[in-house]
C-alpha cells in the first residue's frame, strides 16, 4: 500500500502522470504542486499552504468547495442508480428533471437538451448537429464553422479546430471546413477606434468572411459570449447584436459556447442573457455541477430541434455517459444552491465590488493598462506603456512572472499573454475580495520591480 503521508507525490507524478497543456520536462524540473483539499474559496496544498482560488478551479466551482449538499446528492443517487445509459429507448429521472429545468432557465426557445461529459464533447455535438441540420434541410454544402482567433472551445479535434489557438492547430487540431475571424478584443486590436465602433468593425469581419467563403458553404458561427481562456475578452456592447443580425441575414446558425459564462458567471444566468445573444445552439458545462462531477449539455432552439426530431431520422451520435444520473443529480442540487443563495445576482453585485476595489488599488499603477470585467469574470492587462496600450517585447513573460508571484503570495490567478485573468467562486465574500485585491496588488508591485530593474539596465 502507498502511505499517503510518506509519499513523494511530485516524484511519483513525474514518473507516471501526463498533464494537460504541459511541457513535462520543465514541469519535472520545477516540481508539481499537490492540492490536497479545499473549502469555500480556499485550496490547501501538501506543504501546508493556503491559496485563495481566484479561478474557481478552471472557471467552474461556482458554489465553492466543500458543499456537503452536492456530496450528499451524489451519494444518494449512486446508492439508488449509479449508472444507466440513455440509449435504446431508456431514460432516468435526474436526466429528465435536469433537461426540463435547463429548458426553464435557458434563453427563450432553447428547450431541448443533449447531455455529454465535457465542454469539448458538447462543442463537438453542437458542430455535428449544425451539419446534420443543414444536410437534413437539403443544404449539405453548408459545413464550414467560423470561430475566432483566441477562441477556446476545447481539446477534441473538432473543438480545437473551431477554437482559434494557433499552437493547437499547428500540433494536431487543424481540420478542413473551419475558418477564424477577428475577436472583439478592443484592448489589443482596437487601435485608434472607440470601443463601440470597434465592436461593429469586429462583427463585420464575420460578415466579410461569410461573403468570402459563401453563405451556401457555412453551417455556423461559434463564439463564447466572453472569451475566457483567450484572456477574458469582453466584447463592446455593439458586437453581439450585430452578430445576431449577420447570422440571421446570411442563414447561418449561431452557436453560443456558454461553457465558462453559463450559470451566473456574468451576473446573468447565461452570457447570452447579458449580451442579448440569440443562439440557435448553446453549449454548457463547468459550473453546471460546480465542477464536482463532469457534465456538459447542448441546448437546441426549437427551430433546430424540430428539424432534428421530425426530419433527421436517427442521429448517429452519443456517449456512454450521456445523461449520467449521478452528474445530473449533482447538477440539480447545484442549481438549487445557485437559486436559493441568489448566486447570479450575487455575481453581479460582488463583481461590481471587486472591480471597484481593483480600480482603487491598481487603476493608476504604471504597469496596468486596463481593468475589465462583467459579473465575476475579469482581467487586468499588464502593459509596457499605459498610454498607448503597448505590449511587452516578449509576450507572456511578464504575465508568467506575475502569476508565479501570485501563487507564492497565496492567490491563484491565470496569466493569458500579459493579462491576469480571474473568475473566483460566486460565493466569494467581501472580505475575501479584499484579500484577493491585496494579494493581486502585492504581486503586480513585485512584478513591476523586476520590470523596472530590467528597464534600468
Phi, psi of 244 (to 5 degrees): -50, -50
Q: How far is the CB of 321 from ligand PXG (least distance, A)?
A: 13
State the first-to-last Cα distance of the chain, in angstroms, to the nearest integer. Answer: 55
Whether the CB-CB separation of 225 and 266 falls below 8 Å is answered with yes
Residues within the interface to ligand PXG (CB under 6 A) = 58, 118-120, 123, 152-155, 224, 228-229, 257, 259-260, 285, 414
Q: In angstroms, what is the minimal distance from the CB of 331 to ligand PXG?
A: 14
Q: In the complex, what is the shortest distance from the CB of residue 55 to ligand PXG, in angstroms, rounded to a whole number?
A: 8
In the complex with ligand PXG, the residue whose CB is nearer, 61 or 123, is 123
CB of 419 to ligand PXG, least distance (A): 12
Q: Which residue is nearest to ligand PXG (CB)?
A: 119
58 vs 215, which CB is nearer to ligand PXG? 58
Residue 146 and residue 322 in contact, taking contact as beta carbons nearer than 8 Å: no
Instruction: Give me the least distance between CB of 163 and ligand PXG, in Å please.
Output: 8
Q: Which is nearer to ligand PXG, 151 or 199 (CB)?
A: 151
Q: How far is the CB of 286 from ligand PXG (least distance, A)?
A: 7
Question: What is the bridge-based pairing of β-strands 144-148 and 110-116?
Answer: unpaired
Q: How far apart are CA 271 and CA 243, in angstroms?
A: 14
Q: How far is the CB of 119 from ligand PXG (least distance, A)?
A: 2
Give me the sheet containing 411-412, strands edge to edge.
35-39, 42-45, 50-53, 411-412
Helix (H, G, I), strand (E, B) or coil at 92: coil
In whole angstroms, how close is the CB of 228 to ligand PXG at the nearest point? 5
Q: Identify the sign of the CA torsion 153, 156, 162, 168.
A: positive
Judged by CB, which is closer to ligand PXG: 124, or 242? Answer: 124
Please give the full DSSP string across 21-70, using - where no structure is assigned: T--HHHHHHH----EEEEEBTEEEETTS-EEEETTHHHHT-TT-B--HHH
Query: Which residues lie below 8 Å from residue 29, measured CB to CB, with a gap of 6+?
Result: none
Which residue's CB is nearer to ligand PXG, number 113 or number 307? 113
Closest CB to ligand PXG among residues 55, 361 = 55
Which is nearer to ligand PXG, 119 or 325 (by Cβ)?
119
Nearer CB in complex with ligand PXG: 160/307: 160
96, exposed or middle or buried, with CB in 10 Å at 0-12, 13-18, 19+? middle
Q: Which three cell numbers stand for residue 67?
A: 458543499
Amino acid at each position: 500500500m502507498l502511505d499517503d503521508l510518506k509519499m513523494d507525490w511530485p516524484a511519483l507524478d513525474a514518473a507516471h502522470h501526463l498533464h494537460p497543456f504541459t511541457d513535462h520536462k520543465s514541469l519535472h524540473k520545477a516540481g508539481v504542486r499537490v492540492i490536497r483539499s479545499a473549502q469555500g474559496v480556499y485550496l490547501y496544498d501538501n506543504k501546508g499552504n493556503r491559496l485563495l482560488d481566484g479561478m474557481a478551479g478552471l472557471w467552474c466551482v461556482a458554489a465553492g468547495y466543500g458543499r456537503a449538499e452536492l456530496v450528499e446528492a451524489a451519494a444518494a443517487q449512486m446508492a439508488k442508480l449509479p449508472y444507466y445509459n440513455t440509449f435504446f429507448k431508456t431514460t432516468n429521472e435526474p436526466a429528465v428533471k435536469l433537461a426540463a429545468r435547463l429548458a426553464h432557465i435557458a434563453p427563450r426557445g432553447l428547450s431541448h437538451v443533449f447531455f455529454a461529459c465535457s465542454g469539448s464533447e458538447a462543442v463537438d455535438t453542437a458542430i455535428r448537429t449544425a451539419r446534420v441540420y443543414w444536410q437534413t434541410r437539403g443544404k449539405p454544402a453548408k459545413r464550414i464553422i467560423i470561430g475566432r482567433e483566441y477562441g477556446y472551445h476545447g481539446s477534441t479535434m473538432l473543438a480545437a479546430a473551431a477554437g482559434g489557438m494557433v499552437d493547437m492547430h499547428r500540433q494536431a487540431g487543424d481540420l478542413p471546413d473551419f475558418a477564424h475571424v477577428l475577436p472583439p478584443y478592443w484592448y489589443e486590436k482596437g487601435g485608434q477606434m472607440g470601443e463601440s465602433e470597434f465592436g461593429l468593425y469586429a462583427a463585420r469581419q464575420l460578415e466579410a468572411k461569410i461573403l468570402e467563403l459563401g453563405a451556401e458553404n457555412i453551417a455556423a458561427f461559434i463564439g463564447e459570449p466572453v472569451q475566457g481562456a483567450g484572456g477574458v475578452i469582453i466584447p463592446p456592447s455593439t458586437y453581439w447584436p450585430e452578430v445576431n443580425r449577420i447570422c440571421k441575414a446570411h442563414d447561418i446558425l449561431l452557436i453560443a459556447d456558454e461553457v465558462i459564462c453559463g450559470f451566473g458567471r456574468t451576473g446573468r444566468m447565461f452570457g447570452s442573457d447579458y449580451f442579448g445573444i440569440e443562439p440557435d445552439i448553446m453549449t454548457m458545462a463547468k459550473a453546471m455541477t460546480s465542477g464536482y462531477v463532469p457534465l456538459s449539455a447542448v441546448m437546441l432552439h426549437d427551430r433546430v430541434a424540430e428539424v432534428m426530431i421530425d426530419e433527421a431520422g436517427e442521429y448517429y451520435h452519443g456517449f456512454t455517459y450521456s445523461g449520467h444520473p449521478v452528474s445530473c443529480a449533482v447538477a440539480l442540487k447545484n442549481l438549487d444552491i445557485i437559486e436559493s443563495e441568489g448566486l447570479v445576482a450575487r455575481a453581479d453585485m460582488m463583481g461590481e465590488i471587486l472591480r471597484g476595489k481593483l480600480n482603487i488599488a491598481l487603476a493608476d499603477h504604471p504597469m496596468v493598462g486596463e481593468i475589465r470585467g462583467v459579473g465575476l469574470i475579469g482581467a487586468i492587462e499588464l502593459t509596457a506603456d499605459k498610454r498607448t496600450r503597448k505590449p511587452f517585447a516578449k509576450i507572456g513573460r511578464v504575465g508568467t512572472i506575475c502569476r508565479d508571484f501570485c501563487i507564492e503570495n497565496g492567490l491563484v490567478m491565470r496569466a493569458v499573454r500579459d493579462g491576469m485573468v480571474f473568475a473566483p467562486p460566486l460565493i466569494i465574500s467581501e472580505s475575501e475580495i479584499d484579500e484577493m485585491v491585496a494579494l493581486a496588488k502585492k504581486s503586480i508591485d513585485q512584478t513591476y520591480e523586476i520590470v523596472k530593474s530590467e528597464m534600468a539596465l
